[in-house]
Structure 1
Amino acid sequence: MQNKFSTRMLAEIGVAVALAVVLNFLKLWRMPQGGSISLEMLPILVIAFRWGVGAGMFSGLAYGLLQLMFGAYIIHPIQLIMDYPLPYMVLGAAGMFKIRKDEIIKPLKMFWAVVVASALRLIVHILSGVIFFGSYAPEGQNVWAYSTIYNATFLIPTTIITYIVLIIVMKALEKK
C-alpha cells in the first residue's frame, strides 16, 4: 500500500473504473426507483485493498462521476453527490483494513472490510432516500424505514455476491 499515486496505481485505477462501468451494465436485478444488484463495487474494493484508502476513494469518485453520463436521475445538486460519487467513494474505507497476514489474505478480515464499506455506502443511500425520495414511501410508512428497506433490498445481496467474487479475485491476485 502506498499513499503516493504512481503510474502503475493510476493505470490500475483506470482499468478498475472502466471495469466497474461495464459491470454496472451487467445487472442481476434492477430496482424500480434506482439501485440494482451487480458487481460494480468489486473493482473499487480491489483498488482499496491493493493501494489503500486514498486510491480506493479516488476510484470510487471517478466511477461515481462516470455514472452521471449513463442515465443518472438528478433532482438536486446535493442528491447528485449523495447518489453518485459519495456512495462509491466511501467504499475506499475498505482499504483501512489489513486483510493480509504474512502476505496471505484472510477472508474473515476481508469480509469485515467489505461489510463496513458497504454499510457506509448504505448509510449514504438511506440519507439520500430520506431527504430526497421520502415521497415514494407508502402512506403511513416511516420514511427512514422505507429508505432502509428499499436500499438494503439491493445492497445486501450486492455485498454478499461481491464478497464471494472478491475472495476469488484477491486470491488470484495474491499469487502474482
Structure 2
Amino acid sequence: MSKFGSLPKNIVDIFTNPTYVIAILGCAVLIGVFVASKKIKFDAKLIARIALALALATILQALKLYHFPQGGSITPGSMIPIILIGLIYGPSVGLLTGFLYSLINLLTDPYVVHPIQLLFDYPLAFTALGISGFFKNSNILGRNTKLLACIVAIFGRFICHFISGVAFFGSYAPAGTSVWIYSLTVNGLLMGAEAVICVVILYFLPVERFIKQASLSSY
C-alpha cells in the first residue's frame, strides 16, 4: 500500500530543499533517457531480446534469497540480464531496459512512502543499471571490463537507494545511529551482496560471444 507524504507548498520550498532539487535532477535524467530512446532503431530481434531480458530479470527477482522488512531484497543475480543488455547494445538500450524493469518492479513489488522516494527507489535506481552500456566498446580491463561495468552499474543503483534511505527511512535507524550510517550499512550490505553474486555469475558468462552474435545478427 502506498503512503504519500506531504509535497512542497511553494516553489521556494522546492528549490531550498536538497531532496527536491535532487529529485528534479532525477526527472531530468529520466527525460534524457526517454529522448535517447527515441533514437533507438527498434526491430523484432531487439524487442525480443529486451523482452527476454526483462522476463529473466523478473523471474530472478521473484526468487528472493533474503528480504528486508523495510524493502529491498537479495536475489540470485536479477540485475544480470539488464546489465548484459547494456553491454551488448550500449547505453541507450541499456538505460531504457533498466527503466522498463523499474516499472515491472513497481507493479510487482511496490514499497512507496513518498513520490520522491518512489523516483529514487524505482525509476532512477533500476535505470542506473543501464550505465553498463557505456562500457560496450571499452577495453579498460580487457575481458574483465564486463566486471567493472557490472560494479559501476550496481554502484549507480546503490547511490539512488542510499539517498532514498537517508531522506525517507531514517525512522528505521536504531536509537543513536546516524541515518547516513544506517542507510550506508543497509543499502551497502544489500547492494554489496547483489554485486558479489552478479560479478561471480558474469565472470563465467561468455559475454564477448553474446556481443559478437548480436553484432552478426544485426546485419
* TM above 0.5: yes
State the AA in 2 paired with 1:5.
F
Does the 8 A contact of 2:50 with 2:85 survive in 1?
Answer: yes
TM-superposed deviation, 1:174 = 5.4
Q: Distance in 1 between matches of 2:192 and 2:208?
A: 23
Asked whether 1:146 is paired with 2:182, we answer yes
Residues 1-176 of structure 1: pairs in structure 2 closer than 5 A: 3-38=40-75, 39-98=77-136, 106-169=142-205, 170=207, 173=210, 176=213
TM-superposed deviation, 1:171 = 5.2
Q: Runs in 1 of length 4+ with deviation above 2 angstroms? A: 2-7, 98-101, 105-108, 171-176
* CA offsets 1:34-80 (integer angstroms, 9 cap, x no match): 21211110110010001011111111111110112213111111111
Q: Distance in 1 between matches of 2:160 and 2:43?
A: 30
Q: Distance in 1 between matches of 2:124 and 2:138?
A: 27
Does the 8 A contact of 1:98 with 1:109 survive in 2?
Answer: no
Q: Distance in 1 between matches of 2:63 and 2:209?
A: 22
Q: Distance in 2 between matches of 1:3 and 1:49?
A: 15
State the AA in 1 paired with 2:95.
M
| 19-28 vs 165-174, greater mean Cα deviation | 165-174
Q: Distance in 1 between matches of 2:200 and 2:142?
A: 13
- TM-score (structure 2 length as normaliser): 0.72
Identity %: 40
Using a 3 Å threshold, how does the CA distance of structure 1 residues 19 and 59 change in structure 2: closer, same or farther? same
State the AA in 2 paired with 1:87.
A
TM-superposed deviation, 1:142 = 1.0
Q: Distance in 2 between matches of 1:73 and 1:131?
A: 15
Does the 8 A contact of 2:112 with 2:118 survive in 1?
Answer: yes
Question: Which structure 1 segments of 5+ residues have no match?
Answer: none
Q: Distance in 1 between matches of 2:131 and 2:160?
A: 13
Does the 8 A contact of 1:49 with 1:95 survive in 2?
Answer: yes
Does the 8 A contact of 2:86 with 2:95 survive in 1?
Answer: yes
Q: CA RMSD in A?
A: 2.0
| 163-172 vs 6-15, greater mean Cα deviation | 163-172
Using a 3 Å threshold, how does the CA distance of structure 1 residues 97 and 175 change in structure 2: closer, same or farther? closer
Question: Which structure 2 segments of 5+ residues have no match?
Answer: 1-38, 214-219
TM-superposed deviation, 1:114 = 1.2
TM-superposed deviation, 1:106 = 3.4
Q: Distance in 1 between matches of 2:171 and 2:52?
A: 38
> Aligned residues, how many?
172
